[in-house]
Amino acid sequence: MIQQLTVEAIELLKELISKQSFSGEENETALLIMQYFSHHEISFESDKHNVWAKNKHFDSSKKTILLNSHHDTVKPNKGYTRNPLNPEITDGKLYGLGSNDAGGCLVSLLATFTYFYNRENLKYNFVIVASAEEENSGPNGLNSMLKIIPEIDFAIVGEPTLMNLAIAEKGLMVLNCEAKGTAGHAAHGVGDNAIYNAMEDINWFQTFEFPKVSETLGKVKMTVTQIEAGSQHNVIPASCKYVVDVRVTDAYSNQEVFEIIQSNVKSEVCPRSLRLNSSSIPKEHPIVKAGIKLGRETYGSPTLSDQAVLTCPSLKLGPGQSLRSHTADEFIYLNEIEEGIELYIKILNEIV
């Protein structure tokens, strides 16, 4: 059965690659996933471009595992030498946009869910969500499904980890900042230069270290990534706007980090969102122990995923390699998908 599911998973991934599915435009890939469920006689539901299902013998008295990965993609960068929407297999690699991030994970989880779908007397229920709008953290992705699907006790989020166990993930907070001053003529030196005021705060962002350090994720990291000021060479600017990318660890909530920043800088600071918090799962959790038993390593991930919208314990785990995500001529090895399906099933069999 696993071999057949693997063959079907690879064929589905090729079909998914061939359909444009930029964030918010996932209607065609959503249809392919619905067709997959229908082919396997799996009852499913959809909301916007999210497609979800629960196992055949779902029992509301049992705890529930969420299996999740996304079917949207970023837009291809200009470095592509291949057609990003043309799935090609060369030397054991399947090329195409979204093959690695996160198509390989998605089809592997679909195969895993199908494997368990008809099983009776499981210790846990299964819910799977093939979600939209992950790449742009949009409003109509997994976050919008949490009020629709059954309550989740813990989750496996499919992202490329080389099937190692990402037991923690950094959160993200993007800050729009503005340092104020007073305009004046540069020749006279009259005025309060907003750029100089911004430099003081930018120096703080560059040098400040948060006292709490995460055992898994290390330090909170703040990086100034954009800056804009001035209208002409001879006018002292009254405003300097800049953007700060803040990667938050599980030692803090986004709100806590924001309050520390506010108390230390003079600039006006406005977070674009506070909802993309860090996430983690205890190393003693049964699903983590099952993965370790099978020889998988644990680590903390610096990259963001749909884990950020979950409040339950969650594990990031999937075939493929994170460093290939969003690169030109993106690919995943076919044997990574085979290994992914096999390991997902083995790990879950340890606990269900």
pTM: 0.87
Out of 241, 273, 305, pick the residue that ends a domain. 273
How far is 162 from 319, CA to CA, in rounded Å?
Answer: 5
Q: How many independent structural domains does the chain possess?
A: 2
* Alpha helical stretches, state H, the chain: 2-17, 27-39, 104-117, 142-145, 194-207, 254-262, 286-293, 334-349
Contact 68, 109 (CB under 8 A): yes
Out of 221, 245, 273, pick the residue that ends a domain. 273
Tell me the pLDDT tens digit for each residue of 132-174.
999 998 999 999 999 999 999 999 999 999 999 999 999 999 9
Please check whether residues 48 and 153 belong to one and the same domain. Answer: yes
Please check whether residues 33 and 108 belong to one and the same domain. Answer: yes
Please check whether residues 192 and 303 belong to one and the same domain. Answer: no
Q: What is the CATH number of the domain that holds 132?
A: 3.40.630.10
Q: What is the CATH number of the domain that holds 204?
A: 3.30.70.360
Please check whether residues 242 and 291 belong to one and the same domain. Answer: no
Please check whether residues 23 and 88 belong to one and the same domain. Answer: yes
Contact 312, 154 (CB under 8 A): yes
Please check whether residues 178 and 162 belong to one and the same domain. Answer: no
Please check whether residues 160 and 231 belong to one and the same domain. Answer: no
Please check whether residues 164 and 221 belong to one and the same domain. Answer: no
Out of 273, 291, 315, pick the residue that ends a domain. 273
Please check whether residues 110 and 203 belong to one and the same domain. Answer: no
Please check whether residues 8 and 95 belong to one and the same domain. Answer: yes
pLDDT of residue 297 exceeding 90: yes
Tell me the pLDDT tens digit for each residue of 187-241.
887 789 999 999 999 999 999 999 999 989 999 999 999 999 999 999 999 999 9
How far is 238 from 191, CA to CA, in rounded Å?
Answer: 8
Please check whether residues 259 and 340 belong to one and the same domain. Answer: no
- According to DSSP, the residues that pair with 68 across neighbouring strands are 129, 157
Over the chain, what is the mean pLDDT?
96
Instruction: Give the phi and the psi of residue 287 in degrees, each rounded to 5.
Output: -70, -35
Residue 118: domain span: 1-169+278-350
Structure tokens at 204: 């703080």
Reported confidence tier of residue 304, pLDDT bands at 50, 70, 90: confident
Please check whether residues 107 and 53 belong to one and the same domain. Answer: yes
Minimum mean pLDDT among 4-13, 117-126, 300-309: which range? 300-309
